[in-house]
Structures are given as structure tokens and as C-alpha cells.
Structure 1
Amino acid sequence: MNKIQSLFIILLFLVATACTSQENGFIMHNVNGYTIAGEDQELITFDAIAVQEGKVVATGNLADLQQQLAGFNTIDGESKTLIPGLIDAHVHVMGLGYQQLDVDVQGVDSLEETLEMIREYAEDNPDLEWIRGRGWNQVLWEENEFPTAEDLDSVVPDRPVYLTRVDGHAAWTNSKAMELAGISRDTPDTQGGRVVRDEFGDATGIFVDATMSYITQHIPERTQKENEQAFELALQVMAEHGLTSVHDARIDVDTWDMYKDFADNDKLITRIYAMIGGTGDIFDELAENGPIESYANDLLALRSVKISADGALGSRGAAMIEHYHDDPGNDGLLFYDQEELNEMVLKGASNGFQMNIHAIGDAANRQVLNSFQYAQEQLGDQSELRHRVEHAQIVHPDDIPRFVELDIIASMQPTHATSDMNMAEDRVGSERMEGAYAWQTFLDQGTVIAGGSDFPVENVNPFYGLYSAVTRQDHGGMPPGGWYSEHRLSRVEALRIFTRDAAYAAHQEDVLGTLETGKWADFILIDRDIFEVDASQIWEAEVLETWVAGEKVYQQ
């Protein structure tokens, strides 16, 4: 036998061994395992999990599994805690990717430091035609007021600058950007938007919600290479933080095509449940053949639509029934009138799509619930579509029971409460806090909550959300006992909204969200037992490994 024949035989042996291993599967043992299971969605524990062909065969102890599953390989989990892969029910995937490419000033607590970071970024990127970025938050600054174009002019006078607020609902521009966009004293406000003006009526450089398009239409589109680079970065960051599935709140045709291309080429390492951006031309093209329930073994789905009904609380664009407590005369911004929203919901729902509508203020939440009621009156029972209100932050107490009556899912982000607690009561007044960030009220009445983050508005780390849900405190443990602590969740409830219930909100509870027999083996190993450590440590949990469909996609 010559050398080439020997190598060929060895190669055949390795291939056969790999195939046998995949067929036989593996048992990961010596783990501190948790999952939600059963009709009662109770927490169960296990010390071994068997996986074959990417799906869970069983959980239990090693001896029993080996007796049942002869020939399975074993992997030592080294006593690490194992939980289902976390699902973020409201994200902006490409926003996260662009955040890695652009100037990121999120969390910076002074205007001066923010401007210095922008100046340094501009100097480090002299070839960029536009300076883009996001994350500024005037509430964190001593001034606690909107910045101006003059502030930006002091650090970047010669190139246009466009920076979105942390919530994505306001933009801060310099004079060069306004000049290129033709902004003048005569530039009007729009439906669902406002140009912030000085005492003379001149634009200050802040554009809220719909008026942001005055500037964005002049910004060059990202290249395909930039988009792919941003997507790759976003996938890496999500895997590093234990996210095995996300619900992407607003995509377009090109983004969907890129997602499919990544899936087709085995480069998609996080599952994406995508929401079509609106019911206009993008919807007409993407929905031409109806909803896509599963693509590439549940890596992708396209069966929902994202619409925004109002703005955000921090920029005072959230639509309120009464005026803002700290801004008399301003009741926020409704993006559509009732009839317009009704028709959009009717269009999407009549084509079989789940409608997921952003509503933060109590007026917007009421309008959205009215639109769901209208769709039900026109089309009959809508429970099968599982419509959602995205955020449901400030809801009038009279409207909370309507979530049950209309069978609506509340897609809520726990970190919004702990980020907003420094200004929410200032914005709306104490009398309207009864229905604000009211997680436990929703759970108590039987409403399903899908847990999320809204990243990059908030940090991508889902353990921040689990911590906020359980404590309603910042990372320093303030306020003592938690902010409006009656709405704190138990640790089991917190895990459930980021796993099983988030999967339910995507019609995927039969294949994702728990580590039960027949579901995809999406799980993570973490460095501490989040059910046993002091609650103050939950946000510090680190992901050691991330597995999607029984394949390791990240190791610390």
C-alpha cells in the first residue's frame, strides 16, 4: 500500500467517524442545567443534555441518557450553568452593526466629552464624506437640554454630521448638514415630526422623528460591503452575548436578501425573525408570496410587519393623552391618524401577517389598540396572528385590560424602565405612572410579555435585561428595593420572557425557546448560576459558549 492509498483510507475513516458522530449525537454532561418546560412553564433542572442532528433528544442525568442513547459522544460541561439560548424580541440588527462602524457616544455623561469623542472620530476618519453616529442622551448631561448645531460646528465645521439620539427618535446635526439639506426658517414641521427651533424660529440642529428625513435623504447610502461588514460585526456581538435568536424590528428588501445570502452560505449564526418595515412598497415586494414561516431550518422567518405609531419619551415625541408634565403644551407626536393606522393594520393582517406596532405614549397605545379592534371587526378573530404592541411603555390603566380582550402580546424591554427612571416621572407626572412599565400587571392578567432590549437603543447584553426585570434597579443597586418595585419579575418569569414567551411571540414556541425534546439545541454556558447568586450579580454574568442547532458558534 503506497502513501497516497494510506492517506485516502485515513481520510475515509475520519469522514466516517464524523458522520457517525453526527448521527449518534452527543451528550453534554456535568452541567448545571435549567429550562422552562411543560404546560405550566415551570423551571426544571438537569445535569446532562443529549443532542442529535441539531435538536434536543432529552435532558436528565448522564447515566440514564447513556443507557438510553448508546453510542453518543460525551462532552464535559465542567460544572458550568447551561440555560436556553436567549431570545431578544425587539432589536435593530443592522443598527448594532453600524454602531460598531460609526462614532458611538452612548452612555457618555457630558456634552463636552461627547463633542471630544466626535472630534477624535472625525480626525481618525478624514476620508468620510459624512460623520455618522448615535447614542447621545441629553438627560445624562448637566445641561439636560438638547444640544445645538453650533456645538457640533465647534468640533466638525467642514463636513456634515448626523447623530441619532440614543432612542433613534431624534437627530443632532451641524450647520453643514442643514446647509446641504436646505434647512431654513421656512422648513415646516411634518405629521409625526418636529424641527426644534430657537426663539427666533431658526432650526437649532435637532430634528425629531419624521423631520429626520429632511437630513437622511441627503446622506449617501451604505455600500454593500459596509452592510455586510456591519452585519458580520452584529452577528459576532450577538453570539458573544448569548443571543441565539432575535426579532429584527424593521427590515427592507436588500437587508432580507443579505440575510438569506448569509443563511445560504452557512454564515448566519443567530436566528432572525424579521419584521417588514411598514405596509408600503417594501411590504408589497416582500409579501408578494405571503408570509415565510421558516427559511433555512428556522434560521430566518418573515411573517410580521413593524409600524411606528409615535416617538420616544426622552425626546418628548411619545404621544400622550395629556400634555407632558415637564413641557406644557406638548402632547407628543402621533405618526398617523386613526384611519390611516387602521388601514395599514388591515392591509397587513388581511395578508396573514402579524402586526407589531411601536407605541410608547398612552395616546399611541390607545390608538394602536383601536386599530387592532378595527381589524378584528373587519376580519374576525385575529388571535392566530398574535399581534403585538412593541414597547407598551405608558399605557392608560383603562387600556391595559384591552390587551387581554384583543389577545395582544406586550413586547416590552426591561432595561427601558431602568434607563428611563431618571426622567420618566418628570415627563408624564406621577399620576400616569400607574400604567408605566407595568410588567407584573400585564402578567397577572394573563398577557404574554416578549422580553427584549431594543438594541442599540439599549445595551445588547440580555443579562442587563434579566437583571432589570428582577430588580428594577441600576447597576449600582439604586433605588433601594427597586423603582416601582411592585412590577419586579421573579427570576423564572424573567427567563421565561426572554426564552419561551419570546419564541411564542414569533410563532416559534414549538421549535425554540426551551430545551425540550424535538426543539433546536440552542443553548449557552455561563459563568454563574443566575438562580442562586445574589440578584445584584445577574447583570455581570458572562457567556462562555453559545450553541445554535447543536453547533458551537462562540467560545469565550
Structure 2
Amino acid sequence: MKADYLIWGKAIFDSIQPEPFAGFVAVQGNRILQVGTSRQEADALTGTATRILDAGDGLVMPAFFDSHTHLVLAGMYQQCVNLGEARTEADAAAMVQGYAASVPDQEWVIGFNWYHVFWEEPRLPTRHSLDQWLPHRPVILVNAEAHGAWVNTKALELAGITRDTPNPPYGTIHRDDAGEATGFLEEAALGLVGRLAFDLSPSQEKEYIRDYLKSAAGYGITAVKDMQPYFGRNLGNLQVYAQMEADGELPLRVHAAPDLLGDLDEAENWRRTYASERLQVRHLKQFMDGVSTTHTALMLEDYADGPPGDRGASLCDLEAIGHAIGEGHRRNFSICLHSCGDRSARLALDYIEAAVKLHGPRAVRHTIEHNELVDPTDIPRYRQLEVIPSFMPEHLAMTQTFAATPFRQVMGEERAARMFAMKSFQRETGLLAIGSDCPVVSNNPFLEIYRAVTRLHNDGEPTGGWTPSEKLTMAEVLRGYTYGSAYSAGREAALGTLAPGRLADMVILDQNLFDIDPEAIRRTRVTFTMMDGAIING
């Protein structure tokens, strides 16, 4: 039996052994045929048609599996206006107008990534600045946290939002002193406009997906968990994904996680219908809370910068979520739960524990996503309940400088120092799933890797890293980004490691991450991406 590809490398990290080794990976069809170190063994697998590749001084490893991505939203982010560089409301509004002029046939003007906290005057924007430029086209601009949106008057009109419109459950329509909507919508209120703005046609959705796929291949990402509930809908049409797969346009393994609070009979139908190697529905997702910077993460103790008793505003019907977790578990769905606060993490664990007691163990892989703050006494419960901690390390450095991070202000120094306790979880559970939360941050895996092993902000502070005892080793973070994420999706028998019989999804990096200065990690490039035995980049 001869190989189609034989890849030699001085450093091969198979996500099984703790260190890279010199050797080869042989591929036949869409599977790994053999992994070894012997020249004689490799020669026996080499035929006249075998293509031989040499990784040189680079690193050969399994392709990245992003455990937390918003797929369609990520593609939209790449096409729509990015307001991250704006420093005033007026600057941002002018940028929106410039973008709108470039897409005259697009009904909705969509943008992302503004954050008033970093503006010269850190106050929330209003519809009036947008109306000056765009009075007749609806505008929706999602902020950097993706938990708030800035809209113009036309968008409010189309959504039927007036001074008499009540706040939806777990959301806020911000209003001025006269009671009129200001144009800022928070949490669940985003859905009032989002259900219209993000009601995409199949052709629009394909266009956005194609943009994401280009970046994913370039970054060596061949699998994702697609967290779909957003803006009052499941963002991601499974029929569109399936059609792209049928047309040979889906070089990505998509593990869709639709709404836990949706129709679970329909979700079961999706699970039966979409069950290929590239498109699966095994997961359901929901939010237990919001984010700490807006005091919507649920805390066990008061926020340090809030009034007495402020432990976070609930964004959802927690009782309904607890019931849905039990029902989803009974139906053998793996549940993905967003949790940023220590109280929401405890509640998530309580609900999962109750589901297991009521319905018994199931062949599922429940995850808690983000885990930004978890009480130390709750960390062992993840192992006991077989819950997988899923981390997005880049969130640790949400500001360019350590001095500017809001976590220390909202949490207080003691709690802030316990945030993103990745090493503690690694020691306790033995396994992490690693992802990006794209497009909240870039899907560039080398940003996540750098942050996990250094715990530094972009100014190099604090010296030695923020709580350096929580740094991950290179092997730990790479294993989490490959095998850990595959395990969390129930795909570890096919993905995440370089071993005979595994699907041939792998990458070659231009440098060996185990043998470089940490400051060089973010300059790493993917020179070769293979997915299903086919080269999709390089």
C-alpha cells in the first residue's frame, strides 16, 4: 500500500506525545496511513506517484479545530465595516457612511467592533450621528463585545420600536430623557433589529461563508464548532452549509450548535439529516450570562465598581435553561453553555448535575464556554461531571495595555488575578478545548497560543505574565486546539491527532513553536493546510 503524500519534518507534534519528534506522516486518500520515524518504513510506503513534501524547520501538526466560532457572523465581519480604529462617535459614523457608499445595493448597512470605552469621550453613541449620514438606509453596528448594537432611526422604524415599545425580557432599549430610543440596544434587545438585519438570503450567506473559509484555510483551521444562537435567531442556515458541501465548496468540518431553547424536535431532525464528515449537529448552545464589563456576568460576590448588591443582571430565563439542559441531555445532545461569571458557572454545573441524576449518564460532551471566572471550589466539579472547559485565551487581553484592562476595576484585584485559570483547569481535568470566539476576536490561532503561554498584554505587561502560574505549556495549548476541541465535539476518533486511520487534516507551520522565543509566536505563518487528504492552502 503506497502513500499519496509523504510529509517529512524535523518537528512533528502529533497531539499524543508531549514533544515533537523527527519523522514522517504518510497519507493515502483522505486518511493518515502511517506516522513514523524510520527511513526504511517511509521508503516502503513510497511509490512512483507519491508526492514527497519536506517541512524543513517548520512544525507539522494536526490542523486547528476552533472550538468556538460564529461562522456566518465571522464571514460578515470580514466584509462589513470594521470600526475598531474609530476614536470618536463622529469618526465611526463617517466610516459607516464611507462603507455604505461602497455597497449601494445592500439594504442593511452592517458594521462591527466599535467600543465606546476606548473613545475620546467614552459615552454610548446615539442614532442621531448616524441619521446625519444615513437617514434612509437601516444601519446596525455590533459592538466589540457583540452584546450591544448601535442603530439609526430607520432601523428602529423597521423594527417597530417606538417610545411605547417595552424592553424585551433580558434586554434593554436605551432611552433619552424624553423616553425616546437613543439607538443603543443591549443584550436581548439586539434581536428586535437583528432578526431583520441578519435575515440573510442563501446567496448572501454563501458569500459570507466563503470569506470565512479563505481565512480559515490560511490559518490552518479545518474544523469548528459553530455557535449559532445570536440576535434572536440561529445564525447559520444548515441547508446552505449542506448545499455548499454537495457542491464541493465546504473545506471545513462544521459542528453546528443551534439554540438550546429552540425546537428540540427540529434539532433532532437536523441531527439525522446533517450527519456527514463535514456537517454535523450534535450540540445545542445557550447563554447563562453576559460579560463582566457590562455587569451582565452573574457573580457570587458584588462587582467591585458597582453598588452594594450588584452581582450581575440576568439575561435569560435560567429556569427555562435548566429545564432545557435536562431535556437536551435526555435526547443525547451535547450542551454548550456561555458562562463568564462564577455564579453562572456554578449554576451551569448544578443544571448538568441535575440532568445526569435525572436521566443518567449519556454519550455526550457538555462544555462550559469562556470560564472567565470560576470559583476554585467548582473547578473539580468539571472533572466529576465530565464537563469540558472551553477557553478563548485572547479574551484575557481585551485591551492593548494591562493598565487599561477593565477586569481589575470591575472584579477587584483578587478576583481579577483568578480569571482565565487555564492551568488550574488543565491540571484538574487533563484536557481543555481551545477556540477563538471569532469574530469577537480574530480567528488567528497564533494570537490565542501566544496569550495562553505568556498571559501578557500587547505592551508586554505585566512582567512575567498576569498570574503566571496559570500559563499553559506549548504542548498543552496545541493539544487543546486540536485533540481537546475534537474531543469536545465527540470526534477524537477521527480528528485532532496524527495517527493511522485519522482523517488527513494537518498543517505545516513556518517555524517550530516549541523552539522559538514566545514573542515570535504571533509572527507564525501556515505554509500548508491539508483537509481530507487534499491541499487547501499552500
TM-score (norm 2): 0.91
- Pick one of 185, 188, 201 that aligns with 1:223: 201
Query: Is it true that 1:313 corresponds to 2:292 in the alignment?
Result: yes
- Pick one of 63, 71, 90 that aligns with 1:93: 71
Assess, with a 3 A threshold, how the Cα gap between structure 1 residues 148 and 427 changes in structure 2: closer, same or farther: farther
Amino acid at match of 1:374: A
Assess, with a 3 A threshold, how the Cα gap between structure 1 residues 199 and 480 changes in structure 2: closer, same or farther: farther
Assess, with a 3 A threshold, how the Cα gap between structure 1 residues 170 and 88 changes in structure 2: closer, same or farther: same
Assess, with a 3 A threshold, how the Cα gap between structure 1 residues 239 and 440 changes in structure 2: closer, same or farther: same
Q: Who is 2:119 aligned against?
A: 141
Query: What displacement does 1:30 show?
Result: 4.8
**Unmatched tracts of structure 2, length 5 or more:** none
Assess, with a 3 A threshold, how the Cα gap between structure 1 residues 457 and 463 changes in structure 2: closer, same or farther: same
Q: What is the root-mean-square deviation in Å for CA atoms of aligned residues?
A: 2.4
Amino acid at match of 1:527: D
Assess, with a 3 A threshold, how the Cα gap between structure 1 residues 122 and 197 changes in structure 2: closer, same or farther: same
Q: Deviations over 1:488-547 (max 9, x none)?
A: 111111111101111111111111111112111211122211111100111111111111
Amino acid at match of 1:433: A
Q: Who is 2:131 aligned against?
A: 153
Q: Deviations over 1:147-181 (max 9, x none)?
A: 22233234333322111112221111123322333
- Asked if 2 retains the 8 angstrom alpha-carbon contact of 1:392 and 1:411, the reply is yes
Distance 1:217 1:548 in 2: 34
Say which is worse superposed, 236-245 or 254-263, in terms of deviation.
254-263
Distance 2:345 2:39 in 1: 53
Q: Who is 1:264 aligned against?
A: 246
Q: Who is 2:313 aligned against?
A: 333
Distance 1:507 1:500 in 2: 10
Query: What displacement does 1:388 show?
Result: 0.7
| 2:378 partner SS | coil
Q: Structure 1 vs Structure 2: percent identity of aligned residues?
A: 30
- Asked if 2 retains the 8 angstrom alpha-carbon contact of 1:409 and 1:450, the reply is yes
Query: Is it true that 1:55 corresponds to 2:31 in the alignment?
Result: yes
Distance 2:343 2:272 in 1: 30
| 2:206 partner SS | helix
TM-score (norm 1): 0.88
Query: Is it true that 1:284 corresponds to 2:261 in the alignment?
Result: no
Query: What displacement does 1:433 show?
Result: 2.5
Query: What displacement does 1:459 show?
Result: 0.6
Amino acid at match of 2:514: F
- Asked if 2 retains the 8 angstrom alpha-carbon contact of 1:411 and 1:450, the reply is yes
- Pick one of 344, 364, 380 that aligns with 1:401: 380
Query: What displacement does 1:132 show?
Result: 1.2
Distance 2:273 2:380 in 1: 31
1:96-495 map, 5 Å? 96-106=74-84, 108-219=86-197, 221-250=199-228, 252=234, 255-281=237-263, 283-288=264-269, 294-295=275-276, 298-328=277-307, 330-382=310-362, 384-419=363-398, 422-433=405-416, 435-446=418-429, 448-495=431-478
Assess, with a 3 A threshold, how the Cα gap between structure 1 residues 198 and 397 changes in structure 2: closer, same or farther: farther
- Asked if 1 retains the 8 angstrom alpha-carbon contact of 2:168 and 2:189, the reply is yes
- Asked if 2 retains the 8 angstrom alpha-carbon contact of 1:403 and 1:447, the reply is no
- Pick one of 500, 505, 518 that aligns with 1:522: 505
Amino acid at match of 1:459: S
| 1:42 partner SS | coil
Assess, with a 3 A threshold, how the Cα gap between structure 1 residues 207 and 254 changes in structure 2: closer, same or farther: closer
- Asked if 2 retains the 8 angstrom alpha-carbon contact of 1:170 and 1:315, the reply is no
Between Structure 1 and Structure 2, how many residues are aligned?
A: 527
Q: Deviations over 1:456-515 (max 9, x none)?
A: 001110111011111112344233211222211111111111011111111111111111
| 2:125 partner SS | coil
Distance 2:413 2:462 in 1: 17
Q: Who is 1:6 aligned against?
A: none
Q: Deviations over 1:47-74 (max 9, x none)?
A: 3211112211222346233343242614
Query: What displacement does 1:385 show?
Result: 1.0
Query: Is it true that 1:42 corresponds to 2:15 in the alignment?
Result: no
Assess, with a 3 A threshold, how the Cα gap between structure 1 residues 217 and 24 changes in structure 2: closer, same or farther: closer
Q: Deviations over 1:323-346 (max 9, x none)?
A: 433343654332334431121111
| 2:140 partner SS | strand
Q: Give the structure with higher Rg (CA).
A: 1
- Asked if 1 retains the 8 angstrom alpha-carbon contact of 2:31 and 2:532, the reply is yes
**Unmatched tracts of structure 1, length 5 or more:** 1-19
